[in-house]
């Protein structure tokens, strides 16, 4: 199956973007984030899309962005936190290297802050986040080949844990061809 080397899923604040960029660097691969794709395509922030069009319109836009990214991108792909709500998206993730990055509520709130422009956490962030996770946790786990906890870990430690969880086949798949003393495996410790 062609497509991304690895797909990162998980809630907002878990570190998908940061870990995704580090993981891509270690693998010598490109990085792509479907939230960034949506913002670039729509010319406005996700918060603005939610405010102007509502969540159903955003989810439709997101579904198409994910489908395109899965078809076009061959590196590390990070999906928005709610992308897995769509059954078609979950079906498109079947058989792929999907990693669920997990985080507990306290750590998530610390990372996202209470005043960030995250439309689904606008009122009572703690309760909202807990409610989101009740709905989403089993969906993340259903699509994931592995779960990596991010609590109390640096982005570098999480990246290493993802590489360890997915094993040497992922590292070999991400290897760049050509000479060079400091390829992606050097950063991985090989």
List, as residue ranges, the binding site for ATP: 13-18, 118, 153
In the beta sheet, which residues pair with residue 41?
none
Residue 106 token pair: 């306290």
- CA 115 to CA 113: how far, in whole Å? 6
Residue 38 token pair: 């949506």
Query: Which residues are CB-contacts of 90 (< 8 A; sequence separation ≥ 6)?
Result: 84, 139, 142, 143
| Sign (positive or negative) of CA dihedral 108, 55, 86, 95 | negative
- CA 25 to CA 162: how far, in whole Å? 13
Binding residues for Mg(2+): 17
Answer whether 143's CB lies under 8 Å from 93's CB: yes
Binding residues for substrate: 35, 59, 81, 136
Binding residues: 13-18, 35, 59, 81, 118, 136, 153
| Number of other residues whose CB lies within 10 A of the CB of residue 171 | 18
| CA–CA–CA angle 37, 101, 54 (5° rounding) | 45
Q: Name the region of 61 (left: φ>0; alpha: ψ -120 to 50; beta: rest).
A: alpha
């Amino acid at each position: 199956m062609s497509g991304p080397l690895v797909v990162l899923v998980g809630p907002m604040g878990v570190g998908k973007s940061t870990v995704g960029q580090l993981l891509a660097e270690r693998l010598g691969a490109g990085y792509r984030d479907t939230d960034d794709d949506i913002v670039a395509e729509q010319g406005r922030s996700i918060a603005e899309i939610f405010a102007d069009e509502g969540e159903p319109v955003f989810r439709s836009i997101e579904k198409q962005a994910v489908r395109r990214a899965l078809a076009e991108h061959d590196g590390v792909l990070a999906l928005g936190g709610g992308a897995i709500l769509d059954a078609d998206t979950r079906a498109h993730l079947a058989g792929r290297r999907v990693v669920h990055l997990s985080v507990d509520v306290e750590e998530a709130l610390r990372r996202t802050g209470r005043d960030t422009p995250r439309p689904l956490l606008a009122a009572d962030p703690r309760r909202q986040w807990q409610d989101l996770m009740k709905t989403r946790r089993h969906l993340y786990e259903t699509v994931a080949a592995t779960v990596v906890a991010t609590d109390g870990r640096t982005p570098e430690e999480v990246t290493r844990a993802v590489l360890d969880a997915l094993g040497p086949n992922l590292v070999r798949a991400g290897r760049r061809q050509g000479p060079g003393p400091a390829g992606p495996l050097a950063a991985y410790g090989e």
